[in-house]
Each structure stands twice: as structure tokens, then as C-alpha cells.
Structure 1
Amino acid sequence: MPRSRPEITSAGAVVLRRGRDVLLVHRPKYDDWSFPKGKLERGEHVTAAAVREVEEETGVRVRLGRPLSSQTYSVGRARKTVHYWIARASGSDDVSAYAPNAEIDEVAWVPVSKATRVLTYPHDRDTLAEALQHPKRTRTVIVLRHAQSRARRTWHAEDALRPLLATGQRQAERLVPVLEAYGVRRVMTSSSVRCADTVAPYCRTTGTEPEPIDRLSEEHARRGKVRKLVRRTVEALGKTGPTVICTHRPVLPFIFDELGLDDPKLEKGELLVVHLRRGRVVASERH
């Protein structure tokens, strides 16, 4: 039987500035202009890799927005897939102090009207065209099901006190760079221990104060109250910034109902990133 082709996974971003400029890099080895991107490190999530690669190649720290179509093409014998997002600078977007190196010798903000002519590859021009179809900023809500927890049948105390397993604790730690990639600033969680402990590593790492909410717990959740909470959360995104809501399987359908989405039936530790524009869902992605 023929050998399967090696798979290479990379991640990057189309970084926009006020909808008029896009951030491009020049690679002297290939003499090409492209978007900042790179291969995943061992065990790294694609979202974290996208943010890291942009910062390493340009010096600009970004926050991910809505996802774009992935690129797939051949590199020698290998099949390469590059995952892309629209992104914005989360701090300074000044690249004047960038120090050229053997990998990237030039970084530039290029007017979008000129970028099509500057980009070397047709697939990058297609990705830019897709990004420019959606140049407006979006707001982000991340709906998170708590990580792996002690089985209900083996727990004889109050259910709200049921803790994470060691595997769940590792899941919670791995969530940190994923939530950071979207710049999460508000952390809302069921008051149950297994939910609070799922977001605890992120809160410790970023200094974010969690908001324990009884109505997000299995014991206290009611459809109407949860929907009202989600509605107010979406309305406040402009002030609060990207928000994560961590809760339980029975509560998740109430949240998705309010967002106008089908329940994706998240597994423990999974999340759905929901991108909204003027309160309406324009894109979502499951991780």
C-alpha cells in the first residue's frame, strides 16, 4: 500500500488595523510576502499557535476574532494545513522597532488596497479577500462545558462540591492559552466546584476575578433566568470584553437557545467560541 502523506499543521492570522491596513511579513529564504504564521509546537493548540506566531514574527500581540477558511496545499511530499483567523492588535501595533532576522527580514502594515499586489501566493490573496468580506470587529462569547470531573455515582457528598479528576485538572490548564488567544476578560462560572476549578487556572494566570453564579449551576438553573443572563451578557460585551461562560451539560441548551444556535452537545472540557456582531451570531468555532 502507498504511504500516507505527512501532515503539517500551522496557524496564523490576518491582522487588520482599522480595516484599512493588513500586517504582512517578508521571508528572505523564499523571497515572499505572506501573513504571519507557523507550525504548532508539541501539544500546542492551534489558537495559541496563531497568537504566538504572530507575536514572534512581528512583535505584535493579537487577539483572535472570527475564523477564516483553512488553507491546504502541498509542501514537497507533505500536505500542509494552515488555520487562519481575523485578528486585531491587543496592545501596540507599532512594528518600527522590529529587528530583522534570517527568518523574517521585514514586517509592514500594508494598505489593503495594495496588499493583493504585494502578497506572493494566490491562496493568500483568497484568504485576504475572505477577511475583507468581514472587516468589522466582532464580540466574543465562549461557552465552556466544565472539564472531566469525579463521577456522580462515586461521590456521596453534595453534588455541587464534586471535584475535577486529575485529567480534568490537566484539561483546565490546557484551556489557559486558548482563552488567552481570544483575550477573555470576563469569567462567568457556575458556582459548582467542577466549573469554578475549570476556569481557575486561567484566572490565576491572568489575574481575572471569576464571577460564581448560582443560576448557572445544575441545581439552580432555570431556562428563563439563564436566557436573561445570557442576553444581558451579550449586551454588555462592548464594556466587559470577551467573556467565557462555564457551566454544565443540562444548562448549555438554555444558553444556545438564547444565542439562536443548535446545541452542539459539547464534551467535557470542550468549548464553542461564538462571534457576534450587533448582538447577532456571525460565526462560531468548536475546540
Structure 2
Amino acid sequence: MNAGSTPARVRAAGAVLWRRDDAGTVEVAVVHRPHYGDWSLPKGKLDAGETTPVAAAREVAEETGFDAVLGRFLTRVEYEVRTRGGQAPKTVDYFGAEAVGGHFVPNHEVDRLRWLSPAAAESVLDYPADRGVLREFLALPARLTTLLLVRHAKAGKRDEWNGDDDLRPLSDAGLRQAEAVRELVRPFRPGPVFAAPRLRCVQTVHGVAEELGTDVQHEQLLSEEGYWPEPETGIARLLGIVAEGGTPLVCSQGGVIPDVVARLAERDGVPLPSTKNGTVASKKGSVWLLSFHPGSGWEGRQPEQPPTLAAADYFASPLPDPVTTTH
């Protein structure tokens, strides 16, 4: 490292791994690391080219042996660490993660794991930052409904395409972005898969649907032409998709996504990050991770109580890229 240069940031990701006991009470996992002699939350450094969701899920599996489904983004912790070149900044991005299988086997990184009530876990964790992450996890219900809202990947310039614009395909760069989207969303276990009926939207999430052995369902109300005549109808359809369950993945267009996210956030009081010109971010190939309180009494497309937005987190394009979050 040259004199006066800024040391490279160390990036890591982790999770509050949780489950319910036989009585239905939430328990969280804390791990003991023999090398440091501490109790902490599972976490670790990103591998080259990894996004934080992929790294968080991988680290949970490697350190705890549990298979987990990621939920909402919790927080980012920042501190200084010692490196060969001196001190360097480190960031750790944390997610909620529900254990859905597996079992703990002691390994060289973690020799003990304990499932504890949140209160007991907070008393065991050695670091104030970890206790802060746990409190952020407890600020909302452990299980929310996740919606992954994707803007289609790059499809070349519209004025250079001579055919029907609905049939404009992804460019080579767009195909790489689509693959990056597939890798990024996998830890959230997406499905079902929806897209505006534009080839570029369908292509962006086709790999996800193919991996699930299902088809991409067309949603005209979430295309630019279908949404803008009656935006409230499009919002109602999106909430209907949320209420139908699963972890829906929806691919739409840049003329729709900012308005959808802004309307939901304003309705439910969730602040959002914005670009310099005051618009909601929505780059090609980007993903909004939207977490909802589930609704109730759903009949057809008219709920007694529709789902409400609880948190919104944005993964910018090109991927991988740091996450910008707000709650």
C-alpha cells in the first residue's frame, strides 16, 4: 500500500438466524468462535464477486450447518479492523434468516451453537454491535412477506431496435445482469415469478423461473402501458400478489417501479432513499427488497386488510453492489 493511500474496505455479511420452538416462540442462534473466544452472530467476509445476500446465506450454512431463507435486511455495522497494511474500515451487512433445515456440526470456525430466546441471546453476545443488530431484528415480526421487485436488465437502445419494442431482447450486458439477479435473489427462495409482458422483462427473470421449474406469469397491470391509466389498480394487483403468499418475484419497468415504491412507502409511512433529483432509485438490473406485514381476509383481489409495507431495501445495479436501506 502506498503512503497516504486509503486502505481497501473489508466487506462482510451475516444474519440473525432464527426459528420457532415447539411452543411457537422465536429463538435465535448465537455462535462461539474459538479463535476469538467470543459469542457472536454468524458472519464472514464476502468472496470475490459475491453480493451480501449470497455471502450471508453461505456464512450461515458454513458456520452453523443450517439451511436458511433470508428475509429483510436489518442493518449495516461499520468499524475498523487490523490488516497487514494497518487499520482498514469494515462493513458487515446483516439480514434476518429463518432456519428451514440442517443441524449444527462443530467446525474450525465455530465450536458451539446455542438457540436462545432473544433476551437471553442479548445477554450472551459479547459485542454491543451484535446486540444492536439483534434489537433491529426484534423491531419487526420475525416473519414478514418478501416481495422482490426487479427492474429489467439492459436491453440496448430503443432507437437502435427496428422491431416491436415489446420484443426488444436483453443485450449481452443485460444477460449478465440477469444472471447476477438470479444469483442475488436465490437466498430469498423466490417464487412465484411474474413479469410485465415485455421480452426484456421476461428474460430478466426467466432463469429464476427455470430454476424453480415454473413459468413466468405475465402481469399487464405492471407494465408501463397497463399501469399508468389506473395506478391504483396496479398497486392493488401487486398487493394481491403479496397476499397470495410465497416470496413473489416481479419484474417491471423503470416507468413503473419508482411510482409503485413511492406510493407504498407514502401510504405506510416507510422513508425511502432517493437519487439526487428526488426520484426513487430504479437502475436496470436492480432489485427492491420489499417486506410486508401480511393482510387478512383476502377474497379475490379485494382484501379486508391489504398487506402493508414494513421495510424497503434497494440493491443497485450493476450487481454485485452495496445495499442502500431504509426502514
> How high is the TM-score relative to the length of structure 2?
0.80
Separation of aligned partners in 1, 2:132 and 2:203: 42
Amino acid at match of 2:19: R
Q: From 11, 14, 24, give the equivalent of 1:12.
A: 14
Q: From 191, 206, 214, give the equivalent of 2:197.
A: 191
Q: From 144, 150, 156, give the equivalent of 1:144.
A: 150
Amino acid at match of 1:237: V
Q: From 255, 277, 281, give the equivalent of 2:309.
A: 281
Q: From 250, 259, 265, give the equivalent of 2:255.
A: 250
- Give the direction of change, closer, same or farther, for the CA distance of 1:258–1:241 in structure 2 (3 Å limit): farther
The structure 1 segments of at least 4 consecutive aligned residues displaced by more than 6 Å after TM superposition are: none
- Give the direction of change, closer, same or farther, for the CA distance of 1:44–1:253 in structure 2 (3 Å limit): closer
Deviates more, 1:76-85 or 1:61-70: 61-70
Q: Deviations over 1:175-233 (max 9, x none)?
A: 11221122211111011110000001111223232102233334444442x53243244
Consecutive unaligned residues in structure 2, runs of 5 or more: 267-271, 273-278, 295-306, 316-327
Q: Deviations over 1:100-129 (max 9, x none)?
A: 121111222122221122111121112112
Q: From 79, 90, 94, give the equivalent of 1:80.
A: 90
- Give the direction of change, closer, same or farther, for the CA distance of 1:188–1:149 in structure 2 (3 Å limit): same
Q: Deviations over 1:50-103 (max 9, x none)?
A: 1111111112122222222211112111221100012212x22x53xx321211
Q: Residue 206 of structure 1 aligns with which residue?
A: 212
Amino acid at match of 2:27: D
Q: Deviations over 1:23-54 (max 9, x none)?
A: 11111111111111111111111111111111
**Number of paired residues?**
282
Are 1:24 and 1:36, in contact at CA under 8 Å, matched by a contact in 2?
yes
Q: Residue 59 of structure 1 aligns with which residue?
A: 65
1:9 offset after TM fit, Å?
Answer: 0.3
Separation of aligned partners in 2, 1:177 and 1:6: 25
Are 1:189 and 1:246, in contact at CA under 8 Å, matched by a contact in 2?
yes
Amino acid at match of 1:145: R
Q: Residue 50 of structure 1 aligns with which residue?
A: 56
Amino acid at match of 1:87: A
| Cα root mean square deviation, aligned | 2.0
Separation of aligned partners in 1, 2:243 and 2:98: 15
> How high is the TM-score relative to the length of structure 1?
0.90
- Give the direction of change, closer, same or farther, for the CA distance of 1:230–1:209 in structure 2 (3 Å limit): farther
Separation of aligned partners in 2, 1:218 and 1:85: 32
Are 1:189 and 1:211, in contact at CA under 8 Å, matched by a contact in 2?
yes
Are 1:25 and 1:33, in contact at CA under 8 Å, matched by a contact in 2?
yes
Q: Deviations over 1:143-171 (max 9, x none)?
A: 21100002111111111010100000000
Are 2:17 and 2:96, in contact at CA under 8 Å, matched by a contact in 1?
yes
- Give the direction of change, closer, same or farther, for the CA distance of 1:260–1:118 in structure 2 (3 Å limit): closer
Separation of aligned partners in 1, 2:16 and 2:210: 30
- Give the direction of change, closer, same or farther, for the CA distance of 1:209–1:59 in structure 2 (3 Å limit): farther
- Give the direction of change, closer, same or farther, for the CA distance of 1:15–1:260 in structure 2 (3 Å limit): same
1:253 offset after TM fit, Å?
Answer: 4.3
Q: Residue 242 of structure 2 aligns with which residue?
A: 237
Q: Residue 154 of structure 1 aligns with which residue?
A: 160
Q: Residue 303 of structure 2 aligns with which residue?
A: none
Separation of aligned partners in 2, 1:126 and 1:200: 38
Are 1:223 and 1:254, in contact at CA under 8 Å, matched by a contact in 2?
no
